[in-house]
Amino acid sequence: MRLAILYSSVLLCLSSAAHSQLLPEQPVTGVLLPQVTERLERTTQSLAQQKLLQQQQLLDQQRLTEALALKANLADPLTVLPEVLPIVNVQGQVRWTEVRVEQGFRAVEREWLLLVSDTEWQQLQQRWPRLREYTQQQQDLAAIGLLMITLKVPEELDSAAALDREFQQTLTKLAGRNHLYQPQQASTTTTTTVTSLQTHMCQLPVTLGMIDTAIAEALPALTPETERLHISQQHFLPEDIPRSYGHGTAVAGVLAAKHPQITPLLANLHLYSASAFYPSNEFQQSATLAHILSALNWLVSQNVTVVNMSLTGPANPVLAATIQQLAKRDIILVAAAGNGGPAAAPLYPAAYEEVLAVTAVDAQLQLYRWANQGDYVEFAAHGVKVNTLAVSGEVSPQSGTSMATPVVSAAVGCLRAQYPHWSATQIRQHLRLQARDLGEPGQDREFGYGVISAPLKADLQ
């Protein structure tokens, strides 16, 4: 009996000792509960912050989607202009009137253009003598090899359908509205550092043409230098119409500015600048198709074979006919794809088959969010937060397909300088080999055949 009692006592002591290794002597609530509570609170706060961040990201994405959808429904960014806008000269006299026309585009009120040969014009007048009553101007585009006739039609004839009825569908095969075209650039407000190009596209002497606003060529960064930069500028607006300078100066800055914060695309450039834009208002510029055609005619007369057109607008049979004429002479037009947004309709002249259409990417090779997309996009280039010149002479970051277009123009100019006997088709094929493919393999709707960047590879000096 005593042995049993002693055995039980020993077991009880061992049991108590074992439990003392497993359980704390103090209650759990006194030591661990505050730590667990604090950890739970931190976890709850972190989850709440993540949820708020996700909600904000979703809201930002929704706002961007709505903004893109809204912009995609606009045929042109300048639809905020009034339906009717008189353009006045420096004396306050109305020179012409802008109006909104089909598909939301803009044109000169009741003005239609014909692009015909001498023989065709004579035949048209013989068939319909009243055409002489509507003839406002006749201009010989000798370098292109055609006549440009400006007609001012009465209000009852101011549509393609009405002209078809009046002239038995003959005139509208040759005629188009005197449409307006706009630059494709947006100022960039940023506090981040904007990196500029670090090298030239090539060192060869290159000749380029551009149709744009006027260039502020008195700026020190654009001062002509022997064997580095020469600018030949011609103005195509009436002398009494105010000129715009901002957009053309920015494009010229990308191509040729000599500034510590800008590496110009071309180290040796003769730039033929055709000034055709006027201010529709304080912030927006426009060029009539008639002035653009006059500018193209001058560039061709100067033996320019590569033309930068950082502008967009509607399809037009007169513009199409001109581009076809230039293509026959192996003149290469490089144009901005447009800043209408990914769902926007194609813009012209970029969407014409003969024209090289250029879209914009940022430094991380991400597509510019306002860039047009479509099967006509051929190449991409850096066009977001690009360092270039403001009219003041200061460096200003700019974004848009307008800023990407001169990159491809510079590449085309370098190839034409190195291989002057190459056709436009050969140059296009070589550029495709130069391009860094992005997106889907081969040509796609976002990046075309890929990104063109400096320096140009291959055998260029």
| Residue-wise burial string across 166-203, b where 16 or more C-beta atoms lie within 10 A, e elsewhere | bbeeebbebbbbbbbbbbbbbebeeeeebebbeebbbe
Least confident piece of the model among 67-71, 103-107, 236-240, 439-443 = 67-71
Contact 417, 204 (CB under 8 A): yes
196 is catalytic: no
Check whether 76 has a pLDDT greater than 50.
no
Nearest CA among 234, 336, 233, 242 for reference residue 282:
242
270 is catalytic: no
Check whether 189 has a pLDDT greater than 60.
no
Q: Which residues contact 297 (CB under 8 A, 6 or more apart)?
A: 141, 142, 143, 144
pLDDT at 168: 86
Nearest CA among 234, 222, 212, 203 for reference residue 302:
234
pLDDT at 359: 98
Confidence band, pLDDT 50/70/90 cuts, at residue 197: low
Check whether 247 has a pLDDT greater than 50.
yes
Check whether 66 has a pLDDT greater than 80.
no
Check whether 77 has a pLDDT greater than 50.
no
What whole-number percentage of the chain has pLDDT above 90?
74
Check whether 2 has a pLDDT greater than 50.
no
Q: Answer with the residue of higher pLDDT: 385 or 46.
A: 385
pLDDT tens digit sequence for 97-119 = 999 999 999 999 999 999 999 99
Check whether 304 has a pLDDT greater than 80.
yes
Check whether 395 has a pLDDT greater than 90.
yes
Residue of 158, 179, 196, 212 marked catalytic: 212
Contact 174, 114 (CB under 8 A): yes
Residue 249 neighbours by CB distance under 10 Å: 27
Confidence band, pLDDT 50/70/90 cuts, at residue 41: confident
Residue of 273, 402, 409, 453 marked catalytic: 402
pLDDT at 68: 53
| Whole-number Å distance between alpha carbons of 97 and 111 | 10
Domains, the chain, with CATH or none: 78-180 (3.30.70), 183-434 (3.40.50.200)
Check whether 283 has a pLDDT greater than 90.
no
- In this prediction, residues 271-295 reach a mean pLDDT of 95
Beta strands 94-100 and 84-88: pairing type?
antiparallel
- In this prediction, residues 221-238 reach a mean pLDDT of 90
Residue of 179, 196, 244, 247 marked catalytic: 247
Which of 19-23, 46-50, 160-164, 186-190 is modeled with the greatest confidence? 160-164
212 is catalytic: yes
Instruction: List C-alpha distances in Å: 176 to 125, 283, 395.
Output: 18, 27, 40
- In this prediction, residues 364-378 reach a mean pLDDT of 97
- As a whole number, the mean pLDDT across the chain is 87
pLDDT at 369: 95
Check whether 28 has a pLDDT greater than 50.
no
pLDDT tens digit sequence for 311-321 = 999 999 999 99
- In this prediction, residues 14-28 reach a mean pLDDT of 41
- In this prediction, residues 1-21 reach a mean pLDDT of 42
Check whether 329 has a pLDDT greater than 80.
yes
pLDDT at 63: 64
- In this prediction, residues 382-410 reach a mean pLDDT of 96
- In this prediction, residues 73-92 reach a mean pLDDT of 75
| Whole-number Å distance between alpha carbons of 240 and 237 | 8
pLDDT at 207: 98
Task: Please state the separation of Cα 194 from the chain's center in Å.
Answer: 18
Check whether 296 has a pLDDT greater than 60.
yes
Confidence band, pLDDT 50/70/90 cuts, at residue 37: confident
Instruction: List C-alpha distances in Å: 152 to 125, 136, 160.
Output: 15, 6, 14
Check whether 269 has a pLDDT greater than 90.
yes
